[in-house]
A and B are shown apart, each in its own frame.
Chain A
Amino acid sequence: MDGVSSEVLRLRAPRHQVSRKSITLWTLHALIGWTVLLVPQLVVLIFASSPWQFAAAIATLVLGTAHTLVMPRWRYRVHRWEATPDAVYTLAGWLNQEWRIAPVSRIQTVDTKRGPLQQLLGLSTVTVTTASAAGPVHIEGLDHDDAVRLADELTTTTQATPGDAT
Chain B
Amino acid sequence: MTTDLPHAPEYAEPVVDWHRLDVRMLIVRPLNELVGLVPLMVGLLVLGGGETWRILTSLGVIAAIVLFGLLRWLTTRYRITTEQVEMHTGLFVRKRLAVPRDRIRTVDLTAKLGHRLFGLSAIRVGTGQRDQPGEDGLTLDAVSSAEAERLRVLLLTIAKAENPAVTEVAEQRPGVVLSKWDKRWLRYAPLTLSGLVAAGALFGFVMNFARELDIEVFDPMTQAAHWVADQPIGLTIALFSGVVLLVATLGSVLVYVVQFWGYQLTREPDDTVRVRRGLLTTRSVSVAEQRLRGVELVEPLLLRAGRGAHAKTVTTGLGRKGESNLLLPPAPVTEAHRVSAAVLRQDESPTTTPLRRHPLAALRRRLVRAVVPLLVLAAVLAWFAPSWAWQVVLALVPFSAALGWDRYRSLGHALTDRYLLARAGSAIRETVALQRTGIIGWRVSRSFFQRRAGLVTISATTAAGDGAYHVIDVAEADGLALADEAVPDLLRPFLER
Q: Which residues of A contact B (CB under 8 A)?
A: 1, 5, 7-12, 14, 82, 84, 86-87, 89, 93, 95-103, 106, 130-135, 137, 164-166
Residue among B128, B440, B481, B484 with most chain A CB within 10 A: B440
**Residues A134 and B466 in contact, CB atoms below 8 Å apart:** yes
**Residues B446 and A10 in contact, CB atoms below 8 Å apart:** no
Interface membership of B354, Cβ < 8 A: no
Interface membership of B461, Cβ < 8 A: yes
Residues 482-496 of B, flagged 1 when their CB comes within 8 A of A and 0 if not, give 101100011101111
CB-CB under 8 A from A89, the residues of chain B are 494
Q: Which residues of B contact A (CB under 8 A)?
A: 103, 128, 130, 316, 415, 440-448, 451, 459, 461-463, 466-468, 476-478, 480-482, 484-485, 489-491, 493-497
Closest 7 CB pairs of A and B: A133-B467, A134-B468, A131-B463, A134-B467, A135-B461, A132-B461, A106-B440
**Residues A132 and B441 in contact, CB atoms below 8 Å apart:** yes
A11's partner among B103, B130, B494 (CB-CB below 8 A) is B494
Contacts A9-B480, A10-B495; A132 near B445 (Cβ below 8 A)? no
CB-CB under 8 A from B466, the residues of chain A are 133-134
Closest B residue, CB atoms, query A101:
B442
Q: Please, could you name 16 A-B residue pairs with CB atoms under 8 Å apart, sorted by A?
A: A1-B485, A8-B477, A9-B497, A11-B480, A96-B445, A99-B445, A100-B443, A101-B442, A101-B494, A131-B463, A132-B468, A134-B468, A135-B461, A165-B463, A166-B128, A166-B463
CA distance A88 to B461 in the complex (A): 14
CA distance A93 to B446 in the complex (A): 10
B440's partner among A9, A10, A130 (CB-CB below 8 A) is A130
CA distance A87 to B459 in the complex (A): 17
Contacts A86-B493, A87-B490; A130 near B476 (Cβ below 8 A)? no
Closest B residue, CB atoms, query A88:
B441
A98's partner among B130, B444, B477, B497 (CB-CB below 8 A) is B444
CB-CB under 8 A from B480, the residues of chain A are 9-11
CA distance A84 to B462 in the complex (A): 21
Closest A residue, CB atoms, query B102:
A164
- 19 other contacts beyond A99-B443, A100-B442, with CB at 8 A cut-off? A9-B477, A9-B497, A10-B476, A10-B477, A12-B496, A87-B490, A95-B448, A99-B444, A102-B440, A106-B440, A131-B130, A132-B440, A132-B461, A132-B462, A132-B468, A134-B461, A135-B441, A165-B440, A166-B128
CA distance A103 to B496 in the complex (A): 19
CA distance A10 to B493 in the complex (A): 11
**Residues B446 and A84 in contact, CB atoms below 8 Å apart:** no
**Residues B493 and A135 in contact, CB atoms below 8 Å apart:** no
CA distance A42 to B444 in the complex (A): 41
CA distance A132 to B448 in the complex (A): 26
CB distance from A104 to the nearest CB of B (A): 10
**Residues B485 and A98 in contact, CB atoms below 8 Å apart:** no
**Residues A12 and B444 in contact, CB atoms below 8 Å apart:** no
**Residues A84 and B493 in contact, CB atoms below 8 Å apart:** yes
A101's partner among B316, B441, B496 (CB-CB below 8 A) is B441
Closest B residue, CB atoms, query A1:
B481
CA distance A12 to B493 in the complex (A): 9
CB distance from A100 to the nearest CB of B (A): 5
**Residues A5 and B485 in contact, CB atoms below 8 Å apart:** no
Closest B residue, CB atoms, query A2:
B481
CB distance from B99 to the nearest CB of A (A): 14
B493's partner among A87, A93, A131, A137 (CB-CB below 8 A) is A87
CA distance A1 to B15 in the complex (A): 59
**Residues B444 and A135 in contact, CB atoms below 8 Å apart:** no
CB-CB under 8 A from A98, the residues of chain B are 443-446
CB distance from B67 to the nearest CB of A (A): 39
CB-CB under 8 A from A95, the residues of chain B are 447-448
Contacts A12-B495, A95-B447, A103-B440; A135 near B467 (Cβ below 8 A)? yes
**Residues B490 and A103 in contact, CB atoms below 8 Å apart:** yes
Closest A residue, CB atoms, query B458:
A99
CB-CB under 8 A from A99, the residues of chain B are 442-445, 494
CB distance from B158 to the nearest CB of A (A): 12
A96's partner among B448, B489, B490, B497 (CB-CB below 8 A) is B448
Contacts A9-B477, A135-B461; A130 near B444 (Cβ below 8 A)? no
Closest B residue, CB atoms, query A102:
B441
CB distance from A52 to the nearest CB of B (A): 15
CA distance A132 to B94 in the complex (A): 31
Residue among A96, A133, A137 with most chain B CB within 10 A: A133
CB-CB under 8 A from B467, the residues of chain A are 132-135
CB-CB under 8 A from A82, the residues of chain B are 494
CA distance A58 to B448 in the complex (A): 26
CA distance A103 to B497 in the complex (A): 22
**Residues A96 and B446 in contact, CB atoms below 8 Å apart:** yes
**Residues B130 and A133 in contact, CB atoms below 8 Å apart:** yes
**Residues A96 and B468 in contact, CB atoms below 8 Å apart:** no
CB distance from A42 to the nearest CB of B (A): 28
B494's partner among A8, A12, A131 (CB-CB below 8 A) is A12
CB distance from A71 to the nearest CB of B (A): 13
CA distance A165 to B461 in the complex (A): 13
CA distance A133 to B318 in the complex (A): 13
Contacts A96-B447, A103-B490, A132-B441; A5 near B459 (Cβ below 8 A)? no
CB distance from B226 to the nearest CB of A (A): 43
CA distance A165 to B128 in the complex (A): 12
A135's partner among B451, B468, B477, B490 (CB-CB below 8 A) is B468
